[in-house]
Structure 1
Amino acid sequence: GKPPIGLSDFRKLRTSGYCYVDKSLLIQSVLDLPAEVLLLPRPRRFGKTLNLSMLRAFFERDRPGNAELFRGLDIERAGEEYTAHRGRYPVVFLSLKDVKTLNWEDCLGHLRQVISEEFKRHEMLLEGGFLDTEEQKQFRKVRACECVGFELERSLSHLLAWLERATGEQVVLLIDEY
């Protein structure tokens, strides 16, 4: 296969004939850690985004095609205690790459946009009675990029709590380019 220079999308890498150095046992390491928060401080161009993309593909629920991405990788042979976590969790993925701006207002605007996009990915929360009327109003406001101040500040913790309530599972929060 061809070398994946600059490619950080795990799905694309696995489905487009690129060479892949199997780092899937990172998933095992993450699951084995007792910590609730894991920080991966690595130098630039060290594969952090690709690894987060892999973690997202592994853990994210309602993505049936993702299981195929791990066929033949080490994590498949790590045992049922690990593969049982595949496709099980709601995942919130935020890339703060575009949030780095020259002034606070632009930064806040970009952050509002990033969070809004993630709310759009989880619109299923508006169906099925998971949210009460007030929560639906808050959800729609964030989704429409109309939240300010305290609403923006609380939006992410609300999304995590709502996803956990709706699915009965802990939420995996992945933040890239912090």
Structure 2
Amino acid sequence: MEKEKVKGIPYGVASFKQLRQENSYYVDKTMYLPMLEEISNYLFLIRPRRFGKSVFVSMMRAYYNIAKADRFDTLFDGLWIKEHPTPLKNAFQIIYFDFSIVGTGSNEQELEQNFNKYCGQVLDVFAEVYASFYDKGFEQEVKKESSARSKLNYRFLIKSMKGN
């Protein structure tokens, strides 16, 4: 007789993918996704500390990310949304910033440099992940830009020229 693996308590874990892969307890909140899609474009999620905001955002990233479409069944197996997917499932390219890892600086200028460098790195990774959705050379062009603002502007310029 095989012993059933005991679920772990995910204290301090903010990654939906990690929770699902490590057999941790997870409170299924996927039934709220259709409701969120029906309300305004701007959401303000406010809850007390340790109330699952980061895991919820991580779950939304996994659900809406077009680059994770091939992992949908694995990540959402046994959850409400797998049986009730919305038309927006895996429909978006996701840019995700976690400003808690930017760090600080000894002065305002150093803080601004750290912030810009981090944002630029996030946009470089975005270009790598989604390069196949753009014309050849997109990734190289984004990485060639010197500031986060110019990288983001280039991405929006490309999309607007294609009418998307």
Q: TM-score under structure 1 normalisation?
A: 0.70
Contact 2:65 2:93 in 1 (8 A): yes
More strand by share: 1
Q: Aligned-pair distance for 1:118?
A: 2.0
Q: Shift in Å at residue 112 of structure 1?
A: 1.5
Q: SS in structure 1 opposite 2:67?
A: coil
For 2:155 and 2:82, how far apart are their aligned partners in 1?
31
Aligned to 1:110: 114
> Which one has the largest radius of gyration?
2
The one of 66, 73, 76 equivalent to 2:79 is: 73
Distance 1:13 1:164 in 2: 37
Q: Tell me the SS of whatever aligns to 2:95.
A: strand
- Secondary structure in 1 aligned to 2:97? strand
Residue type at the aligned position of 1:95: D
Match 1:62 to one of 35, 55, 67:
67
Give, as a single letter, the amino acid of the residue that structure 2 aligns with 1:20: Y
Taking only aligned residues, the RMSD between alpha carbons, in angstroms, comes to 3.0
2:13 is matched with: 7
Which structure 2 residues correspond to residues 32-71 of structure 1 after superposition, within 5 A?
32-33=38-39, 35-63=40-68, 64-71=70-77
Higher relative contact order (CA 8 A, sep 6+): 1
> Given the superposition, is the C-alpha separation of residues 114 and 48 from structure 1 closer, same or farther in structure 2, using an over 3 Å criterion?
farther
- Checking the alignment, whether the CA contact within 8 Å between 1:95 and 1:114 is kept in structure 2 is no
Q: How many aligned positions are there?
A: 152
Gaps of 5+ in 2: 1-6
Tell me, what secondary structure is at the counterpart of 1:94?
coil
2:30 aligned with 1:24: yes
User: Which amino acid in structure 2 is aligned with residue 46 of structure 1?
Assistant: F
Q: 8 Å contact 1:115–1:156 — kept in the other structure?
A: no
Partner of residue 124 from structure 2, selected from 98, 108, 120:
120
In structure 1, distance between residues paired with 2:160 and 2:59: 21
Give yes or no for contact 1:130–1:165 (8 Å, CA) kept in 2: no
Aligned partners of 1:166, 1:65: CA distance in 2, in Å?
A: 28
Judged with a 3 Å threshold, the aligned counterparts in structure 2 of structure 1 residues 107 and 156 are, in CA distance, closer, same or farther, namely: farther
Task: Report the TM-score, using the length of structure 2 for normalisation.
Answer: 0.75
Return closer, same or farther for 1:21/1:67 CA change in 2, 3 Å cut-off: same
